Amino acid sequence: MNIILMTILLTTIGLCLVAFLVWLGISSIVLMKFKKKSEEAFKHLERWVNDNHDEMNRILGDLNNDILKRIDENRDEMIHNLDEIYKTRESDFNSLSSKIDSRCDKIQEKLDNLKKEVDVYYKLLRETQSNLELISTEKAKSFTIK
């Protein structure tokens, strides 16, 4: 009976060992297929990431170039506007300066004319004064003669 039990026990252990080895073989085949699919998926994802990385770098480069172009356009426009403002202000200043010079010349002419008139009146005043002195000296002589 021991032999029968031993045989049954050994047969059961053998069957379990065979079942375990079959399960191990099937599991390893399934895991190898999974590994192969995973590697392909990772390679695909890596290519996708690299392609998208290059695409994103290209897009960012284009955006950077557009931004730099707009900055240059705005800078050029601002410089142009400042030049126009400067030219306008310069022409306004020159116009005002010429007007001021014209007015100063007119004032100088009027001052010169007034000076001439004052000189004329001053000469007349001197002549009148000298005439008065002559008259007063003649009257004084005429009073002393009588």
Q: Read off the pTM.
A: 0.44
pLDDT at residue 116 is higher than 90? yes
Q: What pLDDT sits at residue 24?
A: 94
Amino acid at 135: I
Q: How far apart are CA 85 and CA 81, in angstroms?
A: 6
Rg for the chain (alpha carbons), in Å?
61
What's the CA angle centered on 56, arms 54 and 62, to 5 degrees? 105
pLDDT at residue 71 is higher than 90? yes
pLDDT at residue 75 is higher than 90? yes
Interval 6-29 mean pLDDT: 93
Q: How far apart are CA 76 and CA 96, in angstroms?
A: 30
- Counting residues of the chain whose pLDDT is more than 90, the rounded percentage is 77
DSSP structural state of residue 146 = -
Q: What pLDDT sits at residue 101?
A: 92
Interval 101-113 mean pLDDT: 93
pLDDT at residue 68 is higher than 60? yes
pLDDT single digits (tens) 123-138: 999 999 888 888 877 7
Supply 97's token pair. Answer: 């300066």
Q: What pLDDT sits at residue 85?
A: 92
DSSP structural state of residue 1 = -
Q: How far is CA 133 from the centre of its chain?
A: 84
Q: How far apart are CA 131 and CA 29, in angstroms?
A: 148
Alpha helices in the chain (DSSP H): 2-145
For residue 1, CA distances in Å to 5, 11, 12, 53, 111 come to: 6, 15, 16, 75, 155
Q: How far apart are the first and last CA of the chain?
A: 204
> Which residue's entry shows tokens 């005439």?
131
